[in-house]
């Protein structure tokens, strides 16, 4: 850990690690050349059974073949969207786009047509790479609907059709020189206007952040990793994929999380490093109450996405028998901001999210005047360094509102810092709901509900939940002549939104508590419900 004594809540850059001028494709090429026969990627299906696998040399060869094919169809700098679950082709496309100088746009496979269309249009994607279906979501049908009328989109490609992946276009095949400060990905994250914003992440940011993460985990280089985090998250395609790459480790890519099959994979493959959001860990611990697993090879396990309760930290460390670390990150920061070192006492791991990452400045600043607050005082967590996003895509106003003139990225999260630089997250300035590690945006859900004839006004908030961290609640003032019918409104939401965004708590109100400027006081609604003054319909 960093031995430091702060006098105010501002952690300076630590230069124990260096920033390398790396790119995603360049790293794969280097590892393939130095360790071509080292196992790189293993497909794991929903039952926990292994499928196809690649050594690093073969992984690079396939990624380069796809990259050359892409170079005949798209120009460097263009954006292509990937919309699929955790399958090897997703990883191959990530590397291929990086080699071809294309920007990869990631999309949640649970999206419905309206959500997908927004991402495709806002990102100006020229192609959509999708699978046929996933978890009952008819993705091919949804894609056909979503792409109607999009002027920039030229291709819709079945990601699992290798003939389509390798199809040749009219341009001569040639891979460009890709620079570390070029855009590598656009990841869609929280928005206050009803829709997510596209955080543009550079090669330098995501590659170095993943390397720092891999080193701080303490896992043995070359030892197997496993990920069940979705690839459309930076935790999946960044920390896991690029972390394992820079450790020259095999990555067991789990298509869909189910606790018992995941534990079977950990045992069978002697997994050394993995991670998941708290809800995943809770499900795994429940299985372990009734069945024993040999997890002696597990060296480190990471969790984040929401605060990890102290009692859960104790259960994890005693049950998994490995180093446990909590992390704090944000998509706009590539993503990790803080991480434990693995050597801290249990009470530090249970009450903080660790110290800042190398080469990363973190400060806690007053939400009033933007000044750095005293040690232990609550303020907004702000970040400055190599890891911050390049910008929000086509949204200079949002970029300027998030990154101030001194280069500090304002996370919108509230927290404290102690004299050793350990950060604790205490709340959120913004209204984003975190359910099981997924970021949900109230305004987006509200906009859908307001299109229903029965809804006059609505406020969506997050309510605390032991299993999910938070769940979505909708407080509705019905229009005259209507009542609140949860079944009807759920069906209405599901026509436009992923299931995870659909409220599970529905409460009827006659009027809303308002601020002096006429805005709904959402915290008052939340408190009234928790105090029993408002009720579930």
Q: What is the DSSP string of 239-297?
A: IIHHHHHHTT--EEEESS--HHHHHHHHHHHT--EEE--HHHHHHHHHHHTTS----TT
| Domains of the chain, start order | 10-417 (3.40.50.12780), 433-530 (3.30.300.30)
Q: At what angle do helices 203-217 and 24-34 cross, to 10 degrees?
A: 50
Task: State which H helix or E strand residue 10 sits in.
Answer: strand 10-11
Cα end-to-end distance, the chain, whole Å: 50
Q: What is the DSSP letter of 520?
A: B
| Three-state helix/strand/coil letters over 454-517 | CEEEEEEEEEEECCCEEEEEEEEEECCCCCCCHHHHHHHHHCCCCHHHCCCEEEECCCCCECCC
**Predicted local distance difference test score (pLDDT) of residue 191:** 43
Q: What CA–CA distance (Å, rounded) separates 230 from 411?
A: 22
What is the CB-side half-sphere exposure of residue 459 using CA atoms within 13 A? 23
Chunked in runs of 10, what are the mean pLDDT values of the chain (537 residues)? 93 95 98 98 97 98 98 98 98 98 96 95 98 94 97 97 97 98 91 71 98 97 97 96 98 97 98 92 92 97 76 86 93 97 89 96 94 95 98 97 96 93 85 84 85 91 92 94 96 94 96 70 89 94
Q: What CA–CA distance (Å, rounded) separates 387 from 368?
A: 26
**Predicted local distance difference test score (pLDDT) of residue 105:** 98
The model's pTM: 0.87
Starting at the edge strand found earlier in the chain, the sheet holding 469-478 runs: 455-465, 469-478, 505-508
User: Omega into 387 within 30° of 0, i.e. cis?
Assistant: no
Task: State which H helix or E strand residue 214 sits in.
Answer: helix 203-217
Instruction: Decide if 499 contacts 435 (C-beta within 8 A).
Output: no
Q: What is the DSSP letter of 236?
A: I
| Four-residue CA torsion sign, 443, 449, 454, 460 | negative
Instruction: Decide if 243 contacts 278 (C-beta within 8 A).
Output: no
Q: What CA–CA distance (Å, rounded) separates 149 from 157?
A: 17
Mode of pairing for the β-strands spanning 251-254 and 39-44: parallel
**Predicted local distance difference test score (pLDDT) of residue 192:** 36
Q: What CA–CA distance (Å, rounded) separates 506 from 490?
A: 10
Q: What CA–CA distance (Å, rounded) separates 369 from 365?
A: 8
**Beta carbons within 8 Å of 16's beta carbon, 6+ residues apart:** 2, 358
Q: What CA–CA distance (Å, rounded) separates 243 from 336?
A: 12
Ramachandran area for residue 400 (φ above 0: left; ψ -120 to 50: alpha; else beta): alpha
Structure tokens at 197: 């914003």
């Amino acid at each position: 850990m960093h031995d430091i004594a702060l006098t105010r809540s501002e952690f300076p850059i630590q230069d124990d690690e260096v920033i390398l001028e790396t790119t995603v494709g360049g790293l794969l090429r280097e590892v393939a050349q130095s360790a071509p026969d080292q196992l790189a990627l293993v497909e794991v299906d929903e039952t926990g059974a292994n499928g196809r696998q690649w050594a690093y040399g073969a992984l690079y060869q396939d990624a380069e073949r796809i990259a050359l094919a892409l170079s005949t169809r798209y120009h460097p700098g263009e954006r292509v969207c990937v919309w699929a679950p955790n399958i090897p082709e997703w990883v191959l496309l990530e590397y291929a786009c990086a080699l071809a100088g294309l920007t990869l746009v990631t999309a949640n496979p649970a999206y419905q047509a309206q959500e997908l269309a927004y991402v495709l249009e806002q990102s100006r994607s020229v192609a959509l790479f999708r699978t046929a279906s996933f978890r009952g979501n008819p993705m091919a049908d949804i894609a056909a609907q979503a792409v109607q009328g999009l002027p920039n989109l030229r291709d819709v490609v079945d990601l699992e059709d290798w003939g389509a992946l390798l199809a040749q276009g009219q341009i001569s095949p040639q891979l460009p020189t890709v620079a570390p400060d070029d855009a590598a990905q656009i990841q869609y994250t929280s928005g206050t206007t009803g829709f997510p914003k596209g955080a543009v992440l550079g090669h330098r940011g995501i590659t170095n952040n993943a390397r720092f993460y891999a080193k701080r985990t303490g896992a043995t280089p070359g030892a197997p990793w496993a990920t069940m985090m979705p690839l459309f998250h930076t935790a999946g395609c960044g920390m896991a994929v690029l972390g394992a790459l820079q450790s020259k480790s095999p990555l067991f890519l789990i298509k869909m999380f189910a606790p018992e099959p995941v534990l079977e994979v950990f045992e069978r493959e002697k997994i050394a490093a993995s991670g998941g959001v708290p809800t995943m860990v809770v499900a795994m611990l429940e299985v372990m109450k009734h069945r024993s697993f040999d997890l002696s090879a597990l060296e480190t396990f990471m969790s984040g996405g929401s605060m990890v309760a102290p009692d859960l930290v104790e259960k994890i460390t005693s049950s998994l028998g490995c180093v446990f670390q909590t992390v704090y990150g944000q998509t706009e920061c590539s993503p990790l901001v803080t991480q434990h070192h693995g050597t801290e006492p249990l009470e530090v791991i249970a009450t903080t999210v660790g110290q800042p990452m190398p080469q990363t400045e973190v400060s806690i600043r007053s939400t009033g005047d933007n000044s750095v607050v005293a040690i232990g005082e609550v303020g907004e967590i702000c970040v400055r360094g190599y890891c911050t996003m390049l910008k929000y895509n086509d949204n200079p106003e949002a970029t300027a509102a998030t990154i101030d003139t001194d280069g500090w990225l304002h996370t919108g999260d509230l927290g404290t810092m102690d004299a050793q630089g350990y950060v604790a997250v205490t709340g959120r300035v913004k209204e984003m709901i975190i359910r099981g590690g997924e970021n949900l945006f109230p305004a987006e859900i509200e906009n859908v509900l307001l299109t229903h004839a029965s809804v006059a006004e609505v406020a969506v908030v997050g309510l605390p939940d032991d299993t999910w961290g938070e769940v979505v609640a909708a407080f509705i003032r019905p229009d005259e002549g209507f009542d609140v019918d949860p079944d009807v409104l759920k069906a209405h939401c599901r026509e436009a939104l992923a299931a995870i965004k659909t409220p599970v708590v529905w409460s009827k109100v006659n009027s809303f508590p308002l601020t002096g400027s006429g805005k709904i006081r959402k915290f008052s609604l939340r408190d009234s419900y928790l105090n029993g003054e408002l009720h579930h319909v």
